[in-house]
């Protein structure tokens, strides 16, 4: 085999550049307070993002431009590297003008992993394999044997498996409907979803140990549920906003209520990004721009007319996400404000088959 070019995309010099950019991002996340746990700091330091994002797409006119880490043009490679180690979601798979898969914004990924509150020996199910980056962080923290990641798209799971193997990680990477979980690998101590859910799939509860934690995006928020047993779970939203595309599979989200779409905001999703929507045009301007009100609209859905939602939101002191929660049991699923037995409760649906 001939000598490797000193100026090619795989040269030692470029490996140094990638290592420097990786280290700089870990320092930035740490300085911003996104990595307070030394165990997660060590995971982010050990797992380079560029291995999982060998290329990504940026909007260019009506389509997308692909930036590639092995592009012969040094300017294009430099743009790729800057993008990989910028704290932003990256589109990694497109079909025509539709985004199918992405790499989540690292700071949000760090906050979600911290909120998952794992302990040594925990078994984790990830819904939405994405690039495999999040699974690699979990593998570093917990060990490969404790990590299962599921995605509906075989191309995505094959790509994630390949990326993980490059760093020597071999968790269970499963092609299947994430709404059904992965009963063959159950029970789980933690379930982490990286896609927007219209509701929590009831099947997940039966695959969890008592006391398990489920962290999942819903209605532009992050819902943290505690599982009491196979028939009951309850919890509140974190204050953090998060925008992910809907889960593809058995629990597909219905059309966004009242015109509120799922969009690319603070984060991308493990299995894709969406196109931003907007609230009803007839509402006052100051409300149109208020993310917390958008959250209430998306969470309550058809149970509240937009005008009713506005009156409630104003009357209750413009509540943030952390005042809302969800209860799941064998009879159905409900969202609520402040108290699951209080006056403000909205049905989300009955358990799926």
Q: Which residues are catalytic?
A: 101
- What does the DSSP assignment read for 164-192? HHHTT---EEEES-GGG--GGG--EEEEE
Burial call 337-346: b when 16+ CB within 10 Å, e when fewer: beeeeeebeb
C-alpha 142: how far from chain center: 19
Q: Return the number of other C-beta atoms located less than 10 Å from residue 42's C-beta.
A: 14
Backbone angles phi, psi at 12, to 5 degrees: -60, -35
Backbone angles phi, psi at 15, to 5 degrees: -65, -40
326 CB contacts (<8 Å, ≥6 apart)? 199, 200, 218, 223, 225, 234, 235, 237, 333, 334, 335, 336, 348
- What does the DSSP assignment read for 286-343? HHHT-HHHHHHHHHHGGGS-HHHHHHHHHHTT---GGGEEEEEETTEEEEEES-TTSS
- What does the DSSP assignment read for 59-93? EETTEEEEEETT-SSHHHHHHHHHHHTSSS-EEEE
The sheet carrying 63-68 orders its strands as 63-68, 55-60, 90-95, 98-103
């Amino acid at each position: 085999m001939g000598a490797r070019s000193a100026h090619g995309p795989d040269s030692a010099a470029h490996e140094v550049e990638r290592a420097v950019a990786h280290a700089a991002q870990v320092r930035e996340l740490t300085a911003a307070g996104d990595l307070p746990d030394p165990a997660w700091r060590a995971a982010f330091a050990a797992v380079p993002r560029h291995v999982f994002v060998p290329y990504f797409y940026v909007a260019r006119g009506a389509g997308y431009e692909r930036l590639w880490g092995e592009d012969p043009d040094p300017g294009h490679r430099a743009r790729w590297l800057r993008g990989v180690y910028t704290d932003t979601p990256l589109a990694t798979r497109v079909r025509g003008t539709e985004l199918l898969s992405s790499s989540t914004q690292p700071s949000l990924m760090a906050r979600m992993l911290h909120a998952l509150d794992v302990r040594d020996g925990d078994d984790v199910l990830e819904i939405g394999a994405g690039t495999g980056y999040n699974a690699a962080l979990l593998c570093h923290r917990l060990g490969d044997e404790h990590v299962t990641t599921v995605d509906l798209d075989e191309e995505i799971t094959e790509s994630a498996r390949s990326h993980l193997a490059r760093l020597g990680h071999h968790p269970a990477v499963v092609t299947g409907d994430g709404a059904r979980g992965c009963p063959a690998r159950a029970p789980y101590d933690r379930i982490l979803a990286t896609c927007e859910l219209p509701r929590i799939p009831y099947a997940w509860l039966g695959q969890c140990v008592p006391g398990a934690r489920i962290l999942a995006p819903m209605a532009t928020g992050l819902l943290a549920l505690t599982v009491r047993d196979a028939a009951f779970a309850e919890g509140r939203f974190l204050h953090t906003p998060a925008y992910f595309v809907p889960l593809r599979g058995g629990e597909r989200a219905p059309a966004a209520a009242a015109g509120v779409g799922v969009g690319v905001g603070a984060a991308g999703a493990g299995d894709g990004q969406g196109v931003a929507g907007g609230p009803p045009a007839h509402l006052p301007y100051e409300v149109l721009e208020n993310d917390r009100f958008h959250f209430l609209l998306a969470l309550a859905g058809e149970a509240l007319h937009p005008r009713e939602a506005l009156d409630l939101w104003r009357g209750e002191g413009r509540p943030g996400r952390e005042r809302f929660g969800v209860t799941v049991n064998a009879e159905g699923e409900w969202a609520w404000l402040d108290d699951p037995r209080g006056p403000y409760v909205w049905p989300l649906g009955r358990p799926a088959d």
